[in-house]
Amino acid sequence: MRAKAPKTASLGDPAPIPLDEHGHAVEASLYNADLRPIHPAMRTWTSRVYLTLWVAMCMNPATWTLAASLIALGMNWVQALFTIVLANLIVLIPMLLNSHAGAKHGISFPVFARAAYGVRGANLPAVMRGLVACGWFGIQTWFGGLGLNLALGAAIGPSWSQAQPVDFGFIGTLPVTTLACYLIVLALQVAVIYKGFESLRRFQQIAAPVVVGAVLLLIVVLLFKTGGDLGPVMSQPSKLGWGSHFWLAVFPISLMANIAFWSTLSLNMPDFTRFAENQQAQRRGQAWGLPATMLVVSLMAILATSLASQHYGVTAAELWNPDELVSHFGSRIAIFVGALAIVVSSVQTNMAANLVSPALDFANALPKLITFRRGVLVSVALGTLILPWKLLASPETYVFVWLGFYGGVMGAVGGVLTSDYWLARKTELRVPELYILDGHYHFTSGWNVRAVIATAVGAFVAVGGAYSTLGPNGEKSGPFPVDGVIPLLKPLYDYNWIVAFLVAMAVYWVLAAHRRNSHHTVPFDGTPAPTLTPSA
């Protein structure tokens, strides 16, 4: 019979410092109520919950932008969809591998990382992952802010929508109204996430079908207005062709960028799968949820952009941002409703994908100082400091610089975690010792140097050849040298995520040879099934 937890218990409730299976007090600097293993009675998420979670997270402006940006790079719609689906099938593999630890042991990503990197060293991948998530938070919040600005402009009129830009120095030149909308959407997300994981789950179960329905309605209306003409994007040939230029020059780095799109979440899915009622629930929900939803959302984005281009008589390049597409609606009511859909889609994705995880990552780094809620505040501050409106200035910067570079770095972390958990430890963990300094995961002063070395080698090989392409007028498109930072490694940069993952996994496997096959699972209280009871 499943153990019962108090009805008033929640993830953020105060909890006493527990004991390990030997009766030793768990180190306070490694533990707080937000990092403890989840009680079995609180592991209730079904396949449907994970499917809904992925529908909610995939249905967002950034996904829409990614699909359109591939076409802006010269692909036709078939090439773009092929790239997106293949990338998501690939990233699903490490995602399910890491998710296993959350469902089996009830632990979050920062705690899971302690097994490979050490109880102190886990702060390295956790903070790395957290900083990337903060960047994504800024991007999604910016999209949401643009949507809110558009909605208020439709409701209030020219006095709002035609506000003049103001020079804010290094921040950029922005209308005060646009910046205000960004801050409003930011505050809205903080308010919702402060209510806890169940509030987030309920919000997504309501918001996801609403947003999907709004997009489907848009497509139906546009199909009616164009008389069934699917528009120029659906009929235009590839500017790249299907020859070597596509397969060797554009496809590899576009594939890696799409893998990088969800690569950070592939690491921290234990943050969510620790609530799974069993392995099958999280595995089935994610296996269907991620690739299928990305396919459908990307197809809807491409189709809607093409139809809008045909109907409004503008180029598809002018419509690659959802807010730009909505702004072409003829009715102020239609603009208002469409813009609110952008806000909802941004918020529902952001809270799950880009606020929960970095907040836990920062809480893991300084558990005595930073709680989950304080971690949320740190995350929103860092997400704003990256100035997302500048990052999204061009699709090439977005795809090749932002997604490409960090994807290679995070791939190395994924390789180490996979090698340690699946190859070296055979999925067995001594959970109580993840919370003490002098246990199995202490290594050298709390750091597993082998994991750090493997991560560094994998990342160096993968992104050491980072390069920028040349524009039509010979101008450099990014911050890296055209010949690559390290020219010898330039060819590997096109495959950076896979290179980082495989190299780091192999290096760690070799360095950790003496620790293989010497593990057994010890639950949090030393019994066959974890029974840590959250306090009320």
Q: From CA 113, how far away is CA 359, in angstroms rounded?
A: 15
Q: Is residue 155 part of a domain?
A: yes
**How much helix, strand and coil, in percent to the nearest 5, is found in the chain?**
65, 5, 30
Strand partners, 166: 174
In a domain, 534, yes or no: no
In a domain, 509, yes or no: no
Residue 500 lies in a domain: no
pLDDT tens string, the chain, 536 residues long: the values are 344 433 333 444 434 445 544 455 567 778 888 888 998 888 999 999 999 889 888 888 878 878 877 887 888 999 999 999 999 999 999 999 999 999 999 999 999 999 999 999 999 998 888 888 888 888 889 888 988 999 999 999 888 888 888 888 888 888 899 999 999 999 999 988 887 777 777 777 787 788 888 888 889 988 988 888 888 888 888 888 898 888 988 898 889 888 888 888 899 899 999 999 999 999 999 999 999 999 999 999 888 888 888 888 888 777 877 888 888 887 889 889 888 888 888 888 888 888 888 888 888 888 888 888 899 999 999 999 888 887 776 655 655 566 667 778 889 999 999 999 999 999 999 998 999 888 899 999 999 999 999 999 999 999 999 888 777 777 776 778 889 899 999 999 888 889 999 999 999 999 987 665 555 666 655 333 333 333 32
- CATH number of residue 253's parent domain: 1.10.4160.10
CA distance 100 to 335: 43
**pLDDT on residue 41:** 86
Look at the chain and count its residues. Answer: 536
Crossing angle between the packed helical segments 279-312 and 197-225, to the nearest 10 degrees: 30
By C-alpha distance, which of 136, 183, 145 is closest to 358? 136
Taking a C-beta distance cutoff of 8 angstroms, is the pair 137, 148 a contact?
no
Separation between Cα atoms, residue 327 and residue 313, nearest integer Å? 14
**Token pair 């493997």 is at which residue?**
454
Distance, in Å, from the CA atom of 536 to the CA atom of 533, rounded to the nearest integer, reads 9
In a domain, 154, yes or no: yes
Quick one: three-class SS letters along 54-77?
HHHHHCCHHHHHHHHHHHHCCCCH
Cβ 51 vs Cβ 72: under 8 Å: no
CB 117 within 8 A of CB 416: yes
Residue 353's pLDDT is what? 80
Q: First and final CA of the chain: distance in angstroms? A: 22
- Nearest by Cα to 101 from 287, 267, 259, 286: 267
Strand segments, DSSP code E, in 134-232 are 165-167, 173-175
DSSP per position, 297-339: HHHHHHHHHHHHHHHHT--GGGGSSHHHHHTT-SSHHHHHHHH
Alpha-carbon span 351 to 356, nearest angstrom: 6
Tokens standing for 298? 């990307």
Q: How far apart are CA 39 and CA 8, in angstroms?
A: 13
User: How many folded domains does the chain comprise?
Assistant: 1
**pTM of the entire structure?**
0.82
- Shortest CA distance to 123 belongs to which of 369, 401, 423? 369
The predicted pLDDT at position 400 comes to 59
As a whole number of angstroms, the distance between CA 140 and CA 345 comes to 9
Nearest CA-CA partner of 477 in 486, 491, 467, 487: 467
Check residue 529 and give its pLDDT: 35
Residue 42 backbone class (left: φ over 0; alpha: ψ -120 to 50; beta: rest): alpha
The three-point CA angle 495-501-503 to 5° equals 90
Give strand pairing partners of 252: none
Residue 373 in domain? yes
- For 331, other C-beta atoms within 10 Å of its C-beta total 10
Taking the CA of residue 133 as centre, how many other CA atoms within 13 Å lie in the half-sphere pointing to its CB? 31
Q: Residue ranges of the alpha helices (H) in 330-483?
A: 332-350, 356-365, 372-385, 388-391, 395-396, 404-418, 449-463
- The C-alpha atoms of residue 209 and residue 328 are separated, in whole angstroms, by 24
Instruction: Look up the domain containing 142 and give its range.
Output: 38-118+129-394
State the pLDDT at residue 395: 54
C-alpha pair distances (Å), 258 with each of 66, 142, 262, 294, 370:
8, 20, 8, 11, 33
Residues 6+ apart with CB under 8 A from 5: 39, 41, 42, 533, 534
Helix orientation angle between 404-418 and 251-261, rounded to the nearest 10 degrees: 60
CA atoms within 13 A on the CB side of 343: 23
Residue 372 lies in a domain: yes
Residue 237 lies in a domain: yes
Per the listing, tokens 């299928």 go with: 292
